[in-house]
Amino acid sequence: MLRYIKINLVLFRNSFIRDSQMPVHIISSFTWRILDIIISLIFFNVIFSNIQNLAGWNYWQVVFLYAFSRTIILTHNAWTKRGVQSMATDLIRRGEFDFYLAKPVDSMIMVSIKSPRIYNFITLAFMIPLGIYAAIKSGMPIGLDNVFWFLILAALGFILYYFLMILCVIPAFWFIRLWAISEIMDKLNTFMRYPAGIFSEGIKVAVLVLFPIVTASYLPASILFYPPKIEYIVYMILITAAFGALTRYLWGLGVKSYSSASS
Amino acid sequence: MKKYLTYLNVCFRAFFTYKADYLVGIVFSLVYFFIYFSLWKAIFSSSGQAEINTYTLANTITYYFVISLIFRLDVTNYIYLGNDIWNGNLTNDLVKPWNVVSVQILTTISDLLIELLLYAPFAIFIFIFALNYIILPAGIMVLFFIITVLLGIFLSFAINFFLHALTFQLGDQEGNIKLVNFLIGFLAGSVFPLTFLPDGIRSFFMALPFRYLFDFPANVFMNKVPVSEVFLGWAQMLGWGMLFIIIFTLVYRHGLKRYTGTGR
């Protein structure tokens, strides 16, 4: 564990030095994310100008859900996304994955943390306060037990999201040139910003069980606003563990089938 | 002319080499439609209203159906001029006996055509899924819609060529072009129908040329624009397009004089 923390710190420092050379890119990326926040808030205002609640969630609860889901996504964007995406775009196709297999570390973790974008963490300085403000303004009775269980489930949601990211790119082991899988999560992320109640039963099964991307954001947020339900907590633990095991298993299969031949 | 047709043929072949990649991309793009479908059904159900700012639920779902189609014809991801300028590949085209801009347009058009072709089965799937909510255009409006979309592609080409040509003067613009197109998409009504905006903000959005890229074609499709306004809209699209073409030509010609071809 200590070894991974040390490696991470070195990679963060490298990212800081490297990315500092590209101030225009940093500003552009930052502007993009701020614009996304503004557009999303305008959209929520449009929605709530016509209704009082969305599937039982008021305006500020939905804003909180948005801010929380974006916090998970942005943290992974800054930390693991580029590394995970490179599996689908470069590492397998060019045979560069050898480099990570040869190291005395876990190849899945090493690939994930190899290319952080440290400046992308800056957006969290807007997103986290927005989430806290929205939670306060929601008018919901939030007790210490809510906060406690929220933090536990949020951590699990963060880990679950990571496993889902990895699952998306694992097909790259077998389909050498399939870049589109590197962007699947970007498209599915949109599910996370709305309460699960708006979706039909079929979609709910898909996004809460089969590919539980909504579980990662919706369950922790529900625990914060409503009395903690033991079934939510147990489900979150079980599904995170199940997808963790599945991810590790499929990654192992992928590594076994990896031929190292580049195209 | 023959050389351009040969080039177009090569573009098609290159695209089909990796068709699985595009198919996966298209399949997962469908999630947006299903999210907005669920979202607006929930909104209309909660509000208890049959109409929101003159839009029924069917209008709204149709809007997103049309938007999903127009996204397939969005040139923004298929123009490579800026990248070619920045990495020096433009030199290869400049020394060949053809018009560089025409070749760029052909490349983009081949990408759009194949994307549209691959999307067709999925469009039918969406149509069947949301059959009760999708309003089809009547008679002549089909033709009007096709013309509007084509003019929208022309306008989008003009705007994006101008943005890409700025690479000559300002260096790598990839991030900025994506950023500007993201903003343009929002202003154009790619996120929600512009009619849902409050009056003051809507007037501002309507005064910009970008609404002709998404909102206007979708409204033409739904027969929500009087014929006289359709013609006026076309005139404005042509006018704005020509304006951006003129600016692009000036920037491009000036840029070519500065272009060293060394690449990054």
> Could you report the per-residue pLDDT of B26-41, keeping only the tens digit for each?
888 889 999 999 999 9
Record: contact A203-B191, CB cut-off 8 A: no
Record: contact B25-A39, CB cut-off 8 A: no
Q: Considering only CB atoms, which chain A residues are within 8 Å of B115?
A: none
Q: Considering only CB atoms, which chain B residues are within 8 Å of A49?
A: 198
Residue B93 domain-assigned (yes or no): yes
Burial class for A64, CB neighbours closer than 10 Å (0-12, 13-18, 19+): buried
Record: contact A46-B35, CB cut-off 8 A: no
Task: Kindly write down the DSSP assignment for every residue of A150-206, as one continuous string.
Answer: HHHHHHHHHHHHHHHHHHHHGGGGTSSS-GGGGGHHHHHGGGGGS-GGGS-HHHHHI
Residues B78, B84, B89, B93, Cα dihedral to 10°: 70
Residue A221 domain-assigned (yes or no): yes
The minimal CB distance from A28 to the residues B35, B46, B179 is found for B179
Residue B244's pLDDT is 97
The two tokens of residue B110 are 């081949």
Instruction: Band the pLDDT of A262: cuts 50, 70, 90.
Output: low
This complex has an ipTM of 0.89
Q: Which residue of A has its CA nearest to B49?
A: A50
Q: Which residues contact B53 (CB under 8 A, 6 or more apart)?
A: B193, B195, B196
How many domains are contained in chain A?
1
The minimal CB distance from B32 to the residues A29, A178, A190 is found for A190
Q: Which residue of A has its CA nearest to B177?
A: A28
Whether residue B176 is predicted with pLDDT greater than 90 in this model: the reply is no
Residue B264 domain-assigned (yes or no): no
What does the alpha-carbon distance between residue A135 and residue B107 come to, in Å, rounded to a whole number?
Answer: 49
**Average model confidence (pLDDT) for chain B?**
90
Record: contact B42-A55, CB cut-off 8 A: yes
Residue B6's pLDDT is 83
Bridge partners (DSSP) of residue B51 are B56
Residue A106 domain-assigned (yes or no): yes
Closest listed residue to residue A247, CA positions, set A82, A112, A98: A112
Instruction: Band the pLDDT of B97: cuts 50, 70, 90.
Output: confident
Q: Which residues contact A129 (CB under 8 A, 6 or more apart)?
A: none
Q: Considering only CB atoms, which chain B residues are within 8 Å of A31?
A: 179
What does the alpha-carbon distance between residue B261 and residue B264 come to, in Å, rounded to a whole number?
Answer: 9
What does the alpha-carbon distance between residue A255 and residue A100 come to, in Å, rounded to a whole number?
Answer: 11
Residue A263 domain-assigned (yes or no): no
- Secondary structure letter of residue B52 according to DSSP: E
Closest listed residue to residue A229, CA positions, set A145, A151, A140: A145
Size of interface A-B (CB pairs under 8 A): 82
Residues A39-86 pLDDT 10s: 999 999 999 998 999 999 999 999 999 999 999 999 999 999 999 999
Q: Which residues contact B21 (CB under 8 A, 6 or more apart)?
A: A177, A178, A179, A180
Residue B32 domain-assigned (yes or no): yes
Q: What's the predicted TM-score (pTM) here?
A: 0.90
The minimal CB distance from A177 to the residues B18, B47, B196 is found for B18
What does the alpha-carbon distance between residue B87 and residue B37 come to, in Å, rounded to a whole number?
Answer: 42
Residues B117-137 pLDDT 10s: 888 989 999 999 999 999 998
The two tokens of residue B39 are 């979202």
Residues A166 and A108 sit within 8 Å (Cβ to Cβ):
yes
Residue B174 domain-assigned (yes or no): yes
- Secondary structure letter of residue B138 according to DSSP: P
Give the gap in angstroms from C-alpha A263 to the nearest C-alpha of chain B.
14
Q: Which of A22, A32, A33, A37 to mutate to test the interface with B (most CBs of B within 10 A)?
A: A32
The two tokens of residue A91 are 């590492």
How many CB atoms neighbour CB A90 within 10 A?
16
Residue B158 domain-assigned (yes or no): yes
Record: contact B42-A25, CB cut-off 8 A: no
Mean pLDDT is highest, among A13-17, A89-93, B158-162, for B158-162
Residues A247 and A166 sit within 8 Å (Cβ to Cβ):
yes
Residue A155 domain-assigned (yes or no): yes
The minimal CB distance from B179 to the residues A32, A47, A175 is found for A32
Whether residue A178 is predicted with pLDDT greater than 80 in this model: the reply is no
Q: Which of A22, A37, A42 to mutate to test the interface with B (most CBs of B within 10 A)?
A: A42
Q: What is the maximum alpha-carbon separation in chain A?
A: 58
How many domains are contained in chain B?
1
Its domain, for residue A43, covers: 2-257
Residue B143 domain-assigned (yes or no): yes
Residue B197 domain-assigned (yes or no): yes
Element of type H or E holding B51: strand B51-52
Whether residue A90 is predicted with pLDDT greater than 70 in this model: the reply is yes
